[in-house]
Structure 1
Amino acid sequence: MNKDTIEGNWKQLKGKVKEQWGKLTDDDFDVIAGKRDQLLGRIQERHGISRDEAEEQVKTWESAEGRTPAALWYEKH
């Protein structure tokens, strides 16, 4: 998932992100504002996991949501 995709779909994704990582607060969502790096950092902080683990969780979540770069390419073509 690229930066523009998260930022562009942030309102839609916010609820799904909240379901997946329930320890994130509304303040966290204000800081994240659709930025993938901010999302990773907040997941890492709130859930007490490593950056690598946060990255792996987000990649898995993106794949399950069909939002991998390949899936997005197919949506557009």
Structure 2
Amino acid sequence: MDRERIEGNWNQIKGQLRETYGDLTDDDIEEAKGEREQMIGALQAKVGKDKDEVRRDVDRILGNI
């Protein structure tokens, strides 16, 4: 998914990120905004999960958009 599509659907993506990673703050989510790989890296650092697991979660969320 490209950056424009992520930004255009950001509110929906934020909601799904909160459902998946309930301990994320608004600041954490805003830090993850943008390119897919940047989002994966920021989330992986925050939640401490394996990068592949976070990538699958993000891909699932973006696939639902």
The TM-score, its normalising length taken from structure 2, stands at: 0.70
In structure 2, relative to structure 1, the CA distance for the partners of 1:35 and 1:25 (3 Å cut) is farther
User: Residue in 1 aligned with 2:17?
Assistant: 17
Structure 2, unpaired ranges of 5+: none
- Runs of 4+ aligned structure 1 residues displaced above 6 Å come to none
Structure 1, unpaired ranges of 5+: 68-77
> Identity across aligned pairs (percent)?
38
Q: Higher relative CO (CA 8 A, sep ≥ 6), structure 1 or 2?
A: 2
Q: CA RMSD in A?
A: 1.9
Residue 24 of structure 1 and its aligned partner are, at CA, apart by 1.6
For these two proteins, the number of residue pairs brought into alignment is 65
Moved more, 33-42 or 8-17: 33-42
Q: Residues of 2 paired with 1:55 and 1:17: CA distance?
A: 12
Computing the radius of gyration over CA atoms, which structure comes out larger, 1 or 2?
1
Check conservation: 1:7, 1:33, Cα contact below 8 A: yes
Residue 60 of structure 1 and its aligned partner are, at CA, apart by 2.8
User: Residue in 2 aligned with 1:27?
Assistant: 27
| Mapping for residues 32-51 of structure 1, pairs under 5 Å | 32-51=32-51
Check conservation: 2:41, 2:51, Cα contact below 8 A: yes
Check conservation: 1:8, 1:34, Cα contact below 8 A: no
